[in-house]
Structure formats: C-alpha cells, structure tokens
Amino acid sequence: MSDSASSPARSITGTGRWSRRRFTAVATSLIAGVAVSPNISAQISSPAAGSTPASGAAHVVKTIHGAVTVPANPQRVVAIGFPSAVTLLEIGVMPVGRTFYLPKLAPDTMDPKDIPVIESAAGELDIELIASLEPDLIVGSDWTDSSLQNPMYEELPRIAPTVIAEWTQAAGNWRVEAALCAEAVGKSTELANLQRAYETQVETIKSTYADAIASLSWDVISGGTDSGKWYLYSAASSHGKVIAETGIQLKAAAGQEDGFMEYSIERFDVLKDTDVLLAPTENKEPLLEQATFSILPAVHANHLFTTDYFFPSSYGISTALLHDVEAALTQL
C-alpha cells in the first residue's frame, strides 16, 4: 500500500521472518545481480594474518549457535547467505552451492555462474539439493533472535558442519559474516589483504576530498520503477556504512535507525535538502521519469550519481563502490 503524502514512510524493521527475504527480493528486483535458474551488529575486524589454522588440523569457530568444529581444508562448501558466497569467491574458494541472489561482483572475482543454486528466488532452501552436493561445510547467516530464525536451517547440521553468523537488516553485518566465513575455511589472511585494500581506499577518499565531503550532504536511494516505491538507506545498511566511513554525511537518512525504509513515489520531497544522490545504475532513468524526483535540487544540480555496486556485501564490492563514490566526488 502506498504511503499518503502526509504520512511517514513505513519502516521495514526486520522484525519478521520474511524481512530478510524482503530485502533479497528488493535487491534482486532493483539490481542486475548474478542470478541463474535454481534448476541445478557491531563491526569486527578479520582475524589477523597468521591466525589461519595449521594445515591438517580441524578447528573450532564461534557461531550464533555456539562452537562448531570445522574441517581444516574444506573442499565442498555450500553458501546459504549471499555475503558468505561473495566472500568465498573473493578469497579463492569456489562454493559447490550458492544463493539465488548475488550482487554485482567486483572485477576479477571468480565467476559462479555454473554453481548450483540451492534456494528458490524467494529464498526457500532446497535441503535435498544441498545434501546431494555432499558438502563438508555450510556457511551463512541468520537472525540471532530465535523467533525470527529460518526453521529450515535446523536441518543443515545433519548434512555438514554449519557455521552461521549474525544477519542484520540490509546486510549491514557483512563484515562479521565475512570474517567468520574466512576463518571457517582457513582463509583469514586472504580476507585481511582485501580489508587492507578497502581501508586504503577509504583513507584516500577522506584525505583527497575533505572539502567536498564536509560541505555536501548525500543520500543513498533505489527504486522509482513500476513498483511505485523507492527506498532510502541509512548508515546501518551495507552501502550506507561504506559511504559513512569516508566521512560523507547522510541527510534525509541521518536519523534513520532501520537499514532501509520504503516510500511511495509521491514522497521524493523528503530528499529536497539533500545535495548529492547515489542510486543503482539501472534505476537512473526510472527515477528521472518521476516528476516529483526530477524537480529535486540535487537532480537540477546534476548531482545524481549511479553505481553498479549498490549492495556491497564484501570488501571487494565495497572497494568497487568506493571507486564510484570517488568518481562522483571529482565532479562536485
């Protein structure tokens, strides 16, 4: 149902089991991610280099369900969360099964197009397919609130050791999931290298574009398509966190606690005081076709910028997003 012009946007709080699927559905519909037919909390740092378990030794990792013993060198890993799937690809581990949705991958990432998809487009796991893949490790994420957890996940430990990190709304907790995933497969050093490259790009933007960052406000949006809705993302979302780390200040989403909020297309006026807008590349034209969007000051100032890396869920994708943010800053 559309919001009225006078009512506040309806918050998508992530307080229901379907909210995670709702985010995936939004991401899939708005972003041209990697998807094939299914036929076939607080930020933490990656473990320090040298913390990878010794070859040949099983080791224990801490998950939201307690300690789990995992094999030293897992060879057949199934990823049931898209941040875990992307992290595996970036640290050199090709999973034998993956999620339906994947965001656009960073350049030079391994191509997962031929990997079996272990869930439906709606996020329903295919337990029989997962078992048939004979995994020696399963990685992913879920809510820590047991009332919100996916009951199908209870079947997974019967198939293979299952490492579940905490999921938070709009994939805002991907760093935690990445660190746990890398630890589980013995690739913490590789992840640390990706993290350093990301942090270097953050510092480059901070130091090079300090004046533009200090003087202009931003907001991160998507939508404007035939759904009649658009979405505003806060610093709690995966992309909002990445952008905020550069020192960029969000305007309309400044006080927003939820990772994202849904508005009707009649409510683009909430962006009237925002100086710079960032949206997915494929949403640019649909947005500009909306009369209430095209009259925004940021649009008139040619401060609408786009990126192909809108839903970062890994260090590689986040670094790619930052390159697009830097490209926008050079034009301000």
Q: What is the 3-state secondary structure (H, E, C) of 129-184?
A: HHHHCCCCEEEEEECCCHHHCCHHHHHHHHCCCEEEEECCHHHCCHHHHHHHHHHH
Question: What's the mean pLDDT in 292-319?
Answer: 96
* Predicted TM-score of the model (pTM): 0.81
Task: Report all structural domains of the chain as residue ranges with CATH numbers, in order of start.
Answer: 21-189 (3.40.50.1980), 197-329 (3.40.50.1980)
Residue 112 reports pLDDT greater than 90:
yes
Going by pLDDT thresholds of 50, 70 and 90, the confidence category of residue 172 is confident
Strand (E) positions, 153-296? Answer: 162-166, 217-223, 229-233, 249-250, 260-264, 276-280
Percentage of the chain beyond pLDDT 70 is 83
Q: Give the pLDDT score at 150.
A: 85
Q: Report the distance separating Cα 160 and Cα 57, nearest Å.
A: 17
Between 148 and 271, the higher pLDDT residue: 271
Residue 164 reports pLDDT greater than 80:
yes
Q: Give the pLDDT score at 56.
A: 55
Residue 9 reports pLDDT greater than 80:
no
Q: Give the pLDDT score at 91.
A: 97
Q: Give the pLDDT score at 147.
A: 87
Beta partners for 63? Answer: 66
Q: Give the pLDDT score at 277.
A: 98
* CB distance 265 to 224 below 8 Å: yes
Strand (E) positions, the chain? Answer: 10-11, 59-63, 66-70, 77-79, 137-142, 162-166, 217-223, 229-233, 249-250, 260-264, 276-280, 304-307
Backbone Cα Rg of the chain: 20
CA geometry: angle at 20 spanning 16 and 21, to 5°?
105
